[in-house]
Amino acid sequence: RKEVEQDPGPFNVPEGATVAFNCTYSNSASQSFFWYRQDCRKEPKLLMSVYSSGNEDGRFTAQLNRASQYISLLIRDSKLSDSATYLCVVKGGSGTYKYIFGTGTRLKVLA
Amino acid sequence: DAGVIQSPRHEVTEMGQEVTLRCKPISGHNSLFWYRQTMMRGLELLIYFNNNVPIDDSGMPEDRFSAKMPNASFSTLKIQPSEPRDSAVYFCASSFVGYSNQPQHFGDGTRLSIL
């Protein structure tokens, strides 16, 4: 089983739709969670950190479910510019240096 | 604020040549990571440094690859001799790893083509 798993997609959605991605992780000791966005042939860019109580940044909402070991990303009112690959990243406790990346979920927002 | 700076942005060279990729991490970060990304294999961690010391180089493909971090503001990834299968995008990332877990920040990457 991979340490971090994501549905590769693609998710094709119309503009204005709401779309959600999940990411599961295997290490129950994981402490930090992040969502990154990667555009074609560009570097991964931090979209948002994921906090235990869940957090929102504009149209984006991230949630963590420790019991089931998954994190989610919800995008509301999707824009054409949201088309990208979304990477889930999981990190262990403060003594761990490794960031484990999922393989990413591709999103295409259609006009 | 300056982000992670990588150079060169693009490199095209013939197989057998030595390739050196450079990275300047964000000031104040204590950890540096080198990644390689291809369509087939996705994002792979090659090596990471903490306080300039290599902590884990298990992702380095083979002896042709080497990485150094002589000081807190500079790192190199060297491939010698280069082969066509080394063609990929190489990313450098830095973070502050400590009591609070901070995200990584990536440079623009070096697009490497070995002919």
DSSP characters for chain A?
--SEEE----EEEETT--EEEEEEES-TT--EEEEEEE-TTS--EEEEEE-TT-EEETTEEEEEETTTTEEEEEE-S--GGG-EEEEEEEE--TT--PEEEP--EEEEEE-
- For residue A104, the chain B residues in CB contact (below 8 A) are 42
Confidence tier at B99 by pLDDT (50, 70, 90): low
Q: Once rounded to an integer, what is the mean pLDDT over residues B19-30?
A: 96
% of chain A with per-residue pLDDT over 90: 79
Q: How far apart are CA A73 and CA A58, in angstroms?
A: 12
* Nearest chain A residue (CA) to B9: A42
Confidence tier at A20 by pLDDT (50, 70, 90): very high
End-to-end alpha carbon distance in chain A: 37
Say if residues A91 and A30 touch (Cβ distance below 8 Å).
yes
Confidence tier at B8 by pLDDT (50, 70, 90): very high
Cβ contact A43–B109 (<8 Å) = yes
Q: Is the peptide bond before B81 cis (omega within 30 degrees of 0)?
A: yes
Greatest C-alpha distance within chain A: 46
| Number of neighbours of residue A14 by Cβ within 10 angstroms | 10
Q: Once rounded to an integer, what is the mean pLDDT over residues A31-50?
A: 95
Q: B21-25, B42-46, B67-71 — which is least confidently predicted?
A: B42-46
Query: Which pLDDT score is estimated for A95?
Result: 65
Cβ contact A41–B91 (<8 Å) = no
% of chain B with per-residue pLDDT over 90: 87
Confidence tier at B1 by pLDDT (50, 70, 90): low
Query: Which pLDDT score is estimated for B40?
Result: 86
Query: Which pLDDT score is estimated for A92?
Result: 77
- For residue B42, the chain A residues in CB contact (below 8 A) are 101, 103-104
Give the A:B interface size as CB pairs under 8 Å: 48
**Which candidate in A99, A101, A105, A106 is best for mutational testing of the B interface (most B CBs within 10 A)?**
A99
Confidence tier at B2 by pLDDT (50, 70, 90): confident
Q: Give the closest-approach CA distance of B22 to chain A in angstroms.
A: 16
Q: How many residues does chain B have?
A: 115
Higher model confidence: residue A93 or residue A67? A67
**Which candidate in B101, B106, B110 is best for mutational testing of the A interface (most A CBs within 10 A)?**
B101
